[in-house]
Structure 1
């Protein structure tokens, strides 16, 4: 299969950029890394739509944190390493890590027909007698739609109204209704042969984990990831009062994530402090669970997808393992570079058509420039 990868306040001086926009930061501009982050962050914040960003870097076992902008438009409160953001689809890498545990524990096989774990009869979850496997879920080759029910018509509306429409629709959407709608899903290619991004498939993967362990997804996160790594501020759901206000490119406040039912696909709320710990864990590819989650089932042209992790291979033989995330008001990227013993996470409380790509550029540039030192 050829895979196409889509990609307390303490010291807060103000820095003038090319557009005379004042940008608050806690960057003390002492080290070379500080200066590299400053250059990249200020270039990003030049866009008048930007609100705030938090950056975490792990390099050779040492952690560095930087914050820019504000937690809320009209206020001068700088975000911190403890500020909570939605990380959207970066959540999928947590689900992939849990699947690596389930594989090691003999609970599942990547070749398993997903219907083995579903209640009821789903003759629609195959194409030409080829069933959807768990492996197909992890690399988005299942053919399942992005959402249930299919929301393609909703996404044709203006983006402001899309956010509100989806938030309202999924507010009371139950898991029971999800599986009723799954009966209507149509697969139009042999699973494993084409790429089609699917939150639906990741939700099913999370439900399979719950079924084989007889525990909730939240409990599995705690048992296998957040508790062992002391990620004490990483939670599921969007009811935290500390979650930052989020905006679109026009400065309009956006609704919080609607992924109650789709929690394994995008429901985690966390901060750079915890995600630096998560990156440190995933830098250790001698760890069996880490190595498994980073290993692609099918390789593309230089790129691949592991257990939800995206993998990009560079010409020098090194690689980056990453995922981006975006809701209607939050953007994020988390990238680790095992051969460089380095990881970068960037969280933003503003989302637009370019934000995820620009954040990924920052992470790439920090790696490239750090390698020169």
Structure 2
């Protein structure tokens, strides 16, 4: 799978330590699936930087849950299927699902110029008279930056300090200031012709959805996804006391997501219990909204992109639809395999430069080994 183009919200360095450790788990080691998960999870957890992970699997309509490690360094408290994690950029698939509703229901057109939905004039949001369309936002081809304002200088600081610097900067950052800064965004290629990962574009999609429905992002999430699917523990980023403590690879406690303006791009908090329900829904390709959200709007030689969903086909023809997520203290992967009627989600309350890729390997390995049984 091509994960080079998968960018989390933030990055942290990776430090490898070869020492081993004992890992608490609720895995009963009864079935072959139990044993497969045990092998993958323990290999991941042997890095002493790891804190805890929760794994959820849906296979042929049946759910399985596994938990390892601890909810907090220094405690002997195993996470559960109801433990609350930041899911970071996996949030974008929720925004894409809401956008699928708006498109299928005729609220918007995917080839609309995004400025049709903005309240001010933005002559800068085009390149050589080629405007940014809503479709360009969904596959990161808009040319918009990753953050507003530009944070490239911040990321040049020692990584330990970047999270704190961004948290401090964005704690009072308003939507009004975001749209003031949008006037200064520079587009340097024709939208739709190049890939450039952008949280900004997804934030704009969230606002477009609010404008066409006259409802908040949280209300739309509840109405169209979490309430119908009975995802009672899935919320838009709040300072919930239930959210697990999160860490970088040095064991340093990391700040939580910064502000609600990031909600459509990476602000959802959820559990494996809820995300298994979400995967079950997205395995139903006969649902018109699911089908729309999984449909790529442009062709690509590498992994295709639907409405934020990444789509990859393995050499054996098996297709996976997925997204990773990462903040400075949380890592995650959510992958569904329609032809196998199966999905895997893995959530971790520790983040480093390789954790997302390894979590993705865990999901792939569970699929591959399950397919052999």
TM-score (norm 2): 0.95
1:279-294 residue pairs with structure 2 within 5 A? 279-294=279-294
- Taking a change above 3 Å as real, the CA distance of residues 20 and 149 of structure 1, as seen in their structure-2 partners, is closer
> How far off is 1:316 after superposition?
2.6
Q: Which moved more, 1:250-259 or 1:219-228?
A: 250-259
Q: Secondary structure at the match of 2:56?
A: strand
- Is 2:214 the partner of 1:214? yes
- How large is the Cα RMSD of the aligned pairs? 1.2
Q: 1:260, 1:99 → 2: CA distance?
A: 19
Q: 1:43, 1:329 → 2: CA distance?
A: 20
- Checking the alignment, whether the CA contact within 8 Å between 2:295 and 2:306 is kept in structure 1 is yes
> How far off is 1:337 after superposition?
0.2
Q: 1:99, 1:44 → 2: CA distance?
A: 35
Residue 69 of structure 1 corresponds to: 69
Q: Secondary structure at the match of 2:260?
A: coil
- Checking the alignment, whether the CA contact within 8 Å between 2:55 and 2:346 is kept in structure 1 is yes
Count of aligned positions: 361
After superposition, the C-alpha distances for 1:154-199 in whole angstroms (9 at most, x for unaligned) are 1111111110000000001000000000000000000000000000
Residue 13 of structure 1 corresponds to: none
Q: Which moved more, 1:18-27 or 1:33-42?
A: 18-27
- Is 2:262 the partner of 1:278? no
> How far off is 1:331 after superposition?
0.3
Residue 157 of structure 1 corresponds to: 157
Q: Secondary structure at the match of 1:22?
A: coil
- Checking the alignment, whether the CA contact within 8 Å between 2:20 and 2:47 is kept in structure 1 is no
Q: Secondary structure at the match of 2:323?
A: strand
1:245-264 residue pairs with structure 2 within 5 A? 245-264=245-264
Residue 309 of structure 1 corresponds to: 309
After superposition, the C-alpha distances for 1:315-359 in whole angstroms (9 at most, x for unaligned) are 232210000000000000000000000000000000000000000
Q: Secondary structure at the match of 2:258?
A: coil
Q: 2:33, 2:63 → 1: CA distance?
A: 11
Residue 345 of structure 2 corresponds to: 345
TM-score (norm 1): 0.95
Q: 1:197, 1:58 → 2: CA distance?
A: 30
> How far off is 1:259 after superposition?
3.8
Structure 2 gap segments, 5+ residues each: 8-17
Residue 12 of structure 1 corresponds to: none
- Checking the alignment, whether the CA contact within 8 Å between 1:5 and 1:303 is kept in structure 2 is no
Q: Secondary structure at the match of 2:204?
A: helix
- Is 2:209 the partner of 1:228? no
Q: 2:269, 2:4 → 1: CA distance?
A: 28
Residue 78 of structure 1 corresponds to: 78
> How far off is 1:4 after superposition?
7.0
1:49-68 residue pairs with structure 2 within 5 A? 49-68=49-68
Q: 2:264, 2:138 → 1: CA distance?
A: 12
